[in-house]
Chain A
């Protein structure tokens, strides 16, 4: 696989997927996010690092939360940021997607943050932008959501010491989840001891084990002795495609309740990428409980995105002296 998200010197040029990135780079993203996270606590929550840079958030699929954190991240770095919600009906043909792109590029954009309902859309856009433009994938179809995965890793690192010692379980709709794919790749790149995926066969992809995970269809078995539990959002439309009978039955089998949580290690943490369907994939008592780190994830999302934006735009700098 060609890795066109890196420059010749191995620096991040685009951030499209975790696949193919090496551990030191993932660690660098987290280290930089650590440095940026203190800025949120200051009186002026802003540094002039990306002053004069133009960042376009292209959201072909709606997502208030992700768009907001990307906007905030850009603003805290003093970049000019514009968010565009583009209905996919207007770009149902690839031709006009490129047209849209080149028009926005002509406005001297330095970075596109792209969310699209088609797998591979960010990759496609990255292949067609001018050499000085960076592309950050904010979620493409069922493929990847690398900044979400990195903020999850960051959150885990804040609570747990050493990735190789961890046993991590991901529960739910792996098949349609770009978050899960990126999480699995990030966890395995960081050397996590055991990655488990738990879900019914209808929600697990074919040849799932080729991703390097252990597959469980039984929640009790899968949760036993894990250090980290990553729950996923279950889209309502899954009931329509004959993938699941009902939300109620799903909750009975795969919902994370306090009782189920007890099967994991006593100090296990619970993550969720949001927005939460309470009573579907997770019980309110768990989502709001002491082991939940869900709100921390949101906070960390800003620092992670600041880190990635800075690295991508910094890699465009001329090689110069200090």
Chain B
């Protein structure tokens, strides 16, 4: 099978390309990126006139709910959603059921993903057994089984000694540690940012310090242990500043932010809108602005979906009793490009934040268009002018607060390993 993608604007920050070129694909590999390829007889030509061609997106954090919560979503359903979102590589955090703390679970997830065949699914193994924060997991076995990193998921490690040991052991194995920074005690009673909105609605607040105390402790231990670490899903301006300082001091730390934290603030909770219930919570508008600034400064180098599909019942109830999370795979690209439309970041940076930057964090061969490389490609329509309709999501989770938002950019085609896994209906 030979595919030619013609007439599109190729943007690949990793190769510093931004020009109108054709892509020539033979089976699962890119064979040329040029105006013309002599003797190439395409079986399939994708006309990308007016479209943007970029590497398939790399998502650092998406929950697929399988194994354990197949009634909510499955690897099959969610990789379809990923394909619709232009995502060709994604990472699942360890808090599945059973937890990713044994090679068997890693194999199960990889098998299912391979069978679905729409996107590359990477696993992040559990840092401690059962994520209890007490005993180290068998990290070597997890690494050999294919885990791309190690994390304690959303269960913070309370005991600093355990965390230090875990970091030391991960550093020994040259494993990247993924951290969701939060102080369990300061977070315990809360469900929203502690501020104007928690005060008005009488909801339990989560102080900014819940994040900054954890980031601060973790940075000190990262410095001491020398582990390579990545912070998931920052939510506060202060945490961004702390990471920036650490980076300036030469510490090997990176950070990402979810697409929704770049657009929403505590005020979007309005009158107890449970669709805006996320963890970490949506914070003040100033925090949101500083997260955008952190992107511009390069302190935060990746934008992730933090995809958490939930069924309707999970969002039905008094706010604090609803489950946090947003179904984000299908809005990751559109929300990121909206920052470009709003003049917050450049197009090149937006693409980099979704492709080569997260690939670098994961240390995987993805997020770049290169001859001989895997043909993972996302084609974007920059003039879609589409209204977001979560009920039309392919994902089993329709839980998105972005209903009615107007998006200029949307994915028109996704190729994974040279195979067309998504194509927007021409309606």
Which residues 307-338 in B have Cβ within 8 Å of A in the complex? 313, 316-322
Q: Which A residues touch B318, using CB under 8 A?
A: 94, 97, 116, 118-121, 124, 140-141
A206 engages B198 (CB within 8 Å): yes
> Which of B147-155, B201-209, B285-293, B344-352 lies on the face that meets chain A?
B201-209
For A207, the chain B residues whose CB sits under 8 A away are 195-196, 199
The answer to whether the Cβ of A55 comes within 8 Å of any Cβ in the partner chain is: no
- Please tell me which one of the listed residues B194, B203, B270 contacts residue A142 in the complex, with CB atoms under 8 A apart: B203
A75 at the interface (CB under 8 A from B): no
What separation, in Å, do the CA atoms of A94 and B203 have in the docked complex? 17
Do B319 and A206 touch (CB < 8 A)? no
Q: A143 and B202: CB pair below 8 A? A: yes
In the complex, how many angstroms separate the beta carbon of A309 from the nearest chain B beta carbon? Answer: 23
Residues of B within 8 A of A2 (CB): 270-271
Residues in A neighbouring B202, C-beta threshold 8 A: 119, 140-144, 178, 181
**Cα(A175)–Cα(B283), bound, Å:** 19
- Determine the distance from Cα of A1 to Cα of B207 in the docked complex, in whole angstroms: 24
Number of contacts between A and B (CB, 8 Å)?
86
A222 to B322, CA, bound (A): 39
B169 within 8 A of A: no
Q: Are A94 and B199 in contact (CB under 8 A)?
A: no
The distance in angstroms between the C-alpha atoms of A95 and B318, with both chains bound, is 10
Q: A185-205, CB under 8 A of B: which get 1 and which 0?
A: 000000000000000000001
How far does the Cβ of B102 sit from chain A's closest Cβ, in whole Å? 31
Q: Are B317 and A211 in contact (CB under 8 A)?
A: no
**A182 vs B271: C-alpha distance when bound (angstroms):** 15
List residues 140-199 of chain A with CB under 8 A from any CB of chain B.
Answer: 140-144, 178, 181
Complex-state Cα separation, A208 to B195, whole angstroms:
9
Does B249 belong to the interface (CB within 8 Å)? no
Say yes or no for B115: interface residue by CB 8 A criterion: no
Which A residues are in CB contact (< 8 Å) with B205? 205-206
Cross-interface CB contact of B203 among A19, A95, A98, A119, cutoff 8 Å: A119
Which residue of B199, B201, B270 contacts A206 across the interface (Cβ within 8 Å)? B199
B200 within 8 A of partner (CB): yes
A95 B199 Cβ-Cβ under 8 A: no
Given A92-B321, A97-B317, do A120 and B195 touch, yes or no (CB 8 Å)? no
What's the least CB distance linking B324 to chain A, in Å?
14
Check B317–A19 contact: CB distance below 8 A: no
Q: Among A2, A98, A121, A208, which residue has the most Cβ atoms of chain B within 10 A?
A: A121
* A120/B203 contact (C-beta < 8 A), A93-B313, A93-B321, A206-B194 known: yes
Q: Would you call A210 an interface residue if the criterion is a C-beta within 8 Å of the partner chain's C-beta atoms?
A: yes
Which of A85-124 touch B at CB < 8 Å? 92-95, 97-98, 116, 118-121, 123-124
Q: How far, in whole Å, are A252 and B369 apart by their CA atoms in the complex?
A: 72
> Is A119 within 8 A of B320, CB to CB?
yes
Pairwise interchain contact B198-A205, C-beta atoms closer than 8 A: yes
B316 touches A95 (CB 8 A): yes
Contacting residues, chain B, for A178 (C-beta < 8 A): 202
| Contact present for A120 and B199 (CB under 8 Å) | no
Interface string of A279-306 (1 = CB under 8 A from B): 0000000000000000000000000000
A183 → chain B closest CB, angstroms: 13
Q: Residues of B contacting A142 with CB < 8 Å?
A: 202-204
Chain A residues near B194: list those with CB within 8 A.
206
Name the residue of chain B whose CB is nearest to the CB of A121: B318
A205/B199 contact (C-beta < 8 A), A95-B316, A119-B320 known: yes
Question: Chain B CB within 10 Å — which of A116, A119, A211 has the most?
Answer: A119
Contact bitstring B197-229, A, C-beta under 8 A = 1, else 0:
011111111010000000000000000000000
- Residue in B198, B272, B320 with the greatest tally of chain A CB atoms within 10 Å: B272
Q: Smallest Cβ distance from B158 to chain A, in angstroms?
A: 17
Contacts A94-B321, A143-B202, A211-B199; A123 near B271 (Cβ below 8 A): yes
- In the complex, A123 Cα to B271 Cα: how many Å? 8
Identify which of A124, A141, A210 contacts B317 (C-beta below 8 A): A124
Instruction: Please indicate the chain B residues that have their CB under 8 angstroms from the CB of A116 in the complex.
Output: 318
Nearest chain A CB to B69's CB is how many angstroms away? 15
List the B residue with the shortest CB-CB distance to A92.
B321
Residues of A within 8 A of B (CB): 1-2, 4, 19, 92-95, 97-98, 116, 118-121, 123-124, 140-144, 178, 181, 205-208, 210-211
Having A97-B318, A124-B318, one finds 5 other A-B pairs with CB under 8 Å, namely A94-B316, A97-B317, A123-B271, A142-B203, A205-B199
- A-B CB proximity, top 3 nearest: A94-B317, A118-B318, A142-B202
